[in-house]
Structure 1
Amino acid sequence: MMELQQLRCLMAVLDTGSFTRGAETLHVTQGAVSHAVIGLERELGVALVRRGRGPATATGAGARTAVHARAVLARVRAAEEEILALRGLRAGRLRVGSFTSASTRLLPRLLAAYRLRHPGIDVSLHEGNDVETGERLISGEVDVGFVVLPAGELDAVPVAEDELTLVLPGTHPPARYGTVPLAALAAEPMILSTGGCAALVRDVFRRAGLGPSEAGAVKEGVTALAMVEAGPGLALMPELAVPPLPAALVTRPVDAPRATARRRLGLATRASEAPGPAVRAFIEPAREQTARVKQTEPTEARKREIVPRPPADGTTASVP
């Protein structure tokens, strides 16, 4: 009969790609993890993990077992969290998925408040781009995460929104505009960031009957800035994703319909299962803030109280 510890060890190995790192995440010895996985393989009569010089990866049978293992472990965590709720959230864990702009501009204050209220909850952060975060939520690798809305099959609460802004050298011709016409950028080489941002930029141009001249794709915002400063192209980036700017670079708004050039961010959970108490305690402040904004929506300025915009000098804005 399969045991929970065997499933935990299997998932730790597959998630980290290593028996050693998997053991470290579980705070046990590598030998204990190897023994548990080998025991599970013997019990099932199939190999679950490919071992070799490279990372440890799942076999076909291992991948199918992992799907069920995640579901089982998620239900066990939910049961544990329900019991912990009765004890006032004095212990437990929370795995948060995020991407760079959310991690630097939205998460710090939210996480600080959460840890102050629930110091017994062990919080871990798992970063990737917005697409990877959504995949981690669906697979069960994280319990809650920041996503770009709409969130598809995930349940999500809106927490912020921003708009595309152009990053370019201050000496570049479009910098003379207060607001840059989108048509003025059609022939400019554009540096795109991976994940949902690239799709957003392409969609803005497509809806205007234009096509961006793509000069390359990068993963990190600081890399995009380095490319723009060096001269290969310009960058259209969501406002929250713009890091502090080098002196040679400036930002300009773009004359594009707000409905297409706007990015909405949310905190998401899996729709297939009810979030446990630790997750609910993390999301509830965002849900309450969104509700307050919706109750007093007469002006655009009031709506955007949940939208942290970077200051003109490129420094990090505080999150309301």
Structure 2
Amino acid sequence: MMNLTHWRLLLAVAEARNISRAAAQVGISQSGASQAIAQLEAALGSQLFVRERRDVSVTAFGEQVMTHARAMLAQFDGIRALADGARGLATGRIRLASFPSVLGAMLPDMLRAFRRRYPGIDVVALEGTDVEVEEWLAAGTVELGVVLNPAPERQAVLLGRDAWMAVLPGAHPLGRRSSEQGVALSELADEPFVLATGGCHVHAQSLATQAGLMLSDIRVTVRDLASAAVLVREGLGVSVIPESALPEDRRGLRVMQLQPPAYREFGLVCSEAGRASAAVQALLREL
């Protein structure tokens, strides 16, 4: 059964000429996008797209379908704009605070999607440490904040869950193990260490303290998580950083999961002002 997201997917595929990029734009998986397109083509009895190795093109029949889909979505968006205006959502402003690693990696796509849905609502993103985010929420300086490992009673909207990964120079002896074996934090505690904080109070040193360990040879401390991987590649030491911050280019690095596995969660929490804001509640509904 096709829904509005699937119709938006068809238009995104026609524009991007790529199913993966289109799926990311509308917020569904590539496999889900491929399945939705195949189901609609089967229901219509005709092909909408020609899939080639590096390109997707629209068939003549597909072009006719896209014309009707654009008109249908434009009509629906017009109705929704009327309803939003009646609920006071035509304009507004949301101040959203986050620590750097989430602000750069996850929030941009989310905010672009919200902007398309509510073009009259401005979202102002503020970067700070996780401690500063908590202070801004408590003071009502911001309506929303990204909080690390939020307690259940805070009713956070969870954005993601990240595994902590050991990052070693490519030739490090511990890297000779299989990825499944992983490496214990205790095995890294006495190694030359590159401490990456990501602007958060939860990092490798706090994980070590929680486990009754001490990082005894911290050579350098950096706020930027990506910089830590560069320094490890240069041989300054080992590090522990979240999986989402790992570089795409891992040449010269050996990345292994910690054993036992350790994770961090992050979610959006409202301030008092945020709970009273129709714009904020609309953003949370979109998520």
Would you say the 8 A contact 1:160–1:265 is kept in 2? yes
- Structure 1 residue 167: deviation in Å? 1.5
Hey, what does 1:194 align to over in structure 2?
197
Q: CA deviation at 1:87?
A: 4.6
Q: CA deviation at 1:86?
A: 3.6
Residue number in structure 2 paired with 1:52: none
The one-letter code sitting in structure 1 at the alignment partner of 2:133 is T
- Per the TM alignment, residue 284 of structure 1 is displaced from its structure 2 partner at its CA by 2.1
Alignment map for 1:96-175 (pairs within 5 Å): 96-150=96-150, 156-175=156-175
2:238 pairs with one of 218, 234, 250: 234
Separation of aligned partners in 2, 1:249 and 1:197: 24
TM-score normalised per structure 1? 0.55
- Cα distance in 2, alignment partners of residues 273 and 100 from structure 1: 21
The equivalent of 1:270 in structure 2 is: 271
* Secondary structure of 1:135's aligned partner: helix
Unaligned runs of 5+ in 1: 1-83, 287-320
| d(CA) in 2 for partners of 1:85, 1:149 | 35
Q: What is the CA–CA distance in structure 2 between the aligned matches of 1:198 and 1:145, rounded to whole Å?
A: 16
Gaps of 5+ in 2: 1-83
The Cα RMSD (Å) is 2.7
Shift of 1:253: 0.5
Change (3 A) 1:216 1:245: same
The answer to whether the 8 Å contact 1:148/1:196 transfers is: no
Q: Indicate how the Cα distance of structure 1 residues 263 and 162 shifts in structure 2: closer, same or farther if over 3 A, else same.
A: same
Compute the displacement of 1:130 (Å).
2.4
Aligned partners of 1:108, 1:93: CA distance in 2, in Å?
16
SS at match of 1:188: coil
CA distance in 2, matches of 1:196, 1:100: 6
Partner of 1:217, secondary structure, is: strand
Paired with 1:196 and 1:219, the residues of 2 have a C-alpha distance of 6
Partner residue, 1:184: 187
* Offset at residue 120 of structure 1 (A): 0.5
Change (3 A) 1:139 1:243: farther
| Cα shift at 1:185 | 1.1
State the distance in 1 between where 2:253 and 2:276 align.
43
Q: In 2, distance between residues paired with 1:138 and 1:274?
A: 13
Normalising by structure 2, report the TM-score.
0.61
1:143 Cα deviation after fit: 1.5
Which secondary structure state, in structure 1, belongs to the residue aligned with residue 116 of structure 2? Answer: helix
Q: Distance in 1 between matches of 2:96 and 2:280?
A: 9
Q: What is the aligned partner in structure 2 of residue 92 from structure 1?
A: 92
Q: AA paired with 2:214?
A: G
Distance 1:139 1:196, change over 3 A: same
Q: Deviations over 1:81-124 (max 9, x none)?
A: xxx86455111111111223212332123212211110011121
Query: Per the alignment, in what secondary structure is the counterpart of residue 250 of structure 1?
Result: strand
CA contact (8 A) 1:225 1:245 kept: no
